[in-house]
Amino acid sequence: MPLSQALAPLVDLVFPPRCPLCGEGIAAQTGLCSTCWSQLAIPGDPSCAACSRPFAEGTGEGTICAPCLASPPRHDGIAAATLYNDVSRKLVLSLKHGNRISLAPMMAGLMRAKLPFVDETWVVVPVPLHRWRIWKRGYNQSAELAREICKVTRARHCVDLLERRKATPSLGGLGRKARKRMLSGAIDLNPRRVPQAQGAKIVLVDDVMTSGATSDACVAALKRAGAETVVIACFSRVLDEALDLT
């Protein structure tokens, strides 16, 4: 029996399990209370065949959404565990800025449910942070999610396949075009890791996908290096218009 499992009753006695969002008592140290779980928005079908954007009922299988028709994506699919709402926002901010790394296994578990095809033949790559941001925060939240995904799927975690070579200010509040300009030249492949990208099937992991500008820059770099497939996996995706469809 693993030591962590053997000590679990003692930990629960000293630190009674609480929902990390509302503080309600729960059965185990991981997870949310039933009320908070029920408020997560889980995207489902029908959805765009290219990017998994949820559709209203009545669309046929293989339908492509208007944004993908207007600008065909470089990626090979998007696997979003949740849609961005108040509950998912609190989880993301707690992981990202609140040092709540203990949330990563639960959040990654929801992401893994959207990645049933991933096995040991895949490479899992986090969206990179600039070294100064890692130094300030102490960790890359996307790398923590990627690590947890690999524990179950047995995929290979390549934490430094991508590099953020240019420090950029927070992209919050910027539109897609402004984000794209800000990210120009900021993300590229680690020269030492090029062979690991060539012909690879890659899962690109991020905590939140907003406009898609950051993930698009990552996908472009991976495809230039010869990656065969790049699927984007995020814990939460900003699609306000789809929230009413969940």
φ, ψ dihedrals at 8, nearest 5°: -55, -45
pLDDT tens track for 11-60: 444 457 788 888 888 766 678 999 999 999 999 888 999 999 998 876 66
99 Cβ contact list (under 8 Å, min separation 6): 138
φ, ψ dihedrals at 46, nearest 5°: -75, 155
Query: What is the four-CA torsion angle of 212, 213, 214, 216, rounded to 10 degrees?
Result: 80
pLDDT tens, per residue, the chain with 246 residues: 443 444 444 444 445 778 888 888 876 667 899 999 999 999 988 899 999 999 887 666 789 999 999 999 999 999 999 999 999 999 999 999 888 899 999 999 999 999 999 999 999 999 999 888 888 999 999 999 999 999 999 999 999 999 998 777 666 566 666 666 766 677 999 999 999 999 999 999 999 999 888 999 999 999 999 999 999 999 999 998 888 776
pLDDT tens track for 220-242: 999 999 999 999 999 999 998 88
Domain boundaries, the chain: 1-38, 44-245
Question: 44-245 domain in CATH 3.20.20.10?
Answer: no
CA distance 4 to 109: 19
